[in-house]
Amino acid sequence: MKKIAVYGKGGIGKSTTVSNVSAAMAAIGLTVLQIGCDPKADSTRNLTGGKNIPTVLDTLRLNGDAELNDLVVKSTSGVLCVESGGPIPGVGCAGRGIITAFEKLAELDAYTVYQPDVVLYDVLGDVVCGGFAMPIRGGYADEVCIVTSGEMMSLYAASNIAQAVRNFGKRGYASLRGLILNAKNIENENEIVDKAAAEIEASVLYRLPRDPVVQQAEALGKTVVEAFPDSDMTAHYKALAGHLLG
């Protein structure tokens, strides 16, 4: 079982990237479990027809307990989808929601029941503390990838995430696999990201171009891989999936 945590600044296109990679992996027959670790609970929307699925926290709040089929939704592309969810706005800690979700999935033996080939954690990367660091420090992920663009704030977040991964890595936890450039078409973007990658001693794993087909697919509530299987962008997501599997 390959376990990859994908981090990145909010709004960088991380969830879009993860869901398309999940769909690409599922398309070659792999069992893929995608776990959304963002209080917005929108990681898997493009896999589930543009609709939010019930979150672990909401289900536990409403019912007091849950079974796996209450928490795991299989998408039309075959991806197993889970959203950790978050607390009631203004009350509680969002990171705690991730911890609760992970503990519940472990209690219900989710990994044994579904036997996924790949687990992808989609984690908000503006902060790397508490529950948001759980995929790194809890032994859940083996590798960490960071989605970024050439914009200053996304690179700043990438630097912080990389430092956190290295700090935890000294204790035998997940290692940093590298950066994924999700292009915004800013001037000299490749050069800017290459320089930042060198400074944080990371490689650039893949460069995703900016393509309007991504927004077209999202308007349909689908991944690019499912909505436009013959597009150039689908080929890019499949190539990225191959890199991650390799």
Question: Which are the catalytic amino acids?
Answer: 9, 14, 40, 126
Stated as kind and residue range, the H or E segment containing 34 is strand 32-37
How many Å apart are CA 42 and CA 50, to the nearest integer? 9
Tokens 């700090």 belong to: 167
With contact defined as beta carbons under 8 Å apart, do 32 and 3 qualify?
no
With contact defined as beta carbons under 8 Å apart, do 165 and 144 qualify?
yes
Pairing verdict, β 80-83 and 73-74: antiparallel
**DSSP secondary structure string, 133-199?**
GHHHHTS--SEEEEEE-SSHHHHHHHHHHHHHHHHHHTTT--EEEEEEEE----TTHHHHHHHHHHH
Residue type, 209: P
30: left (phi over 0), alpha (psi -120 to 50) or beta: beta
Q: How many CB atoms lie within 10 A of CB 9?
A: 23
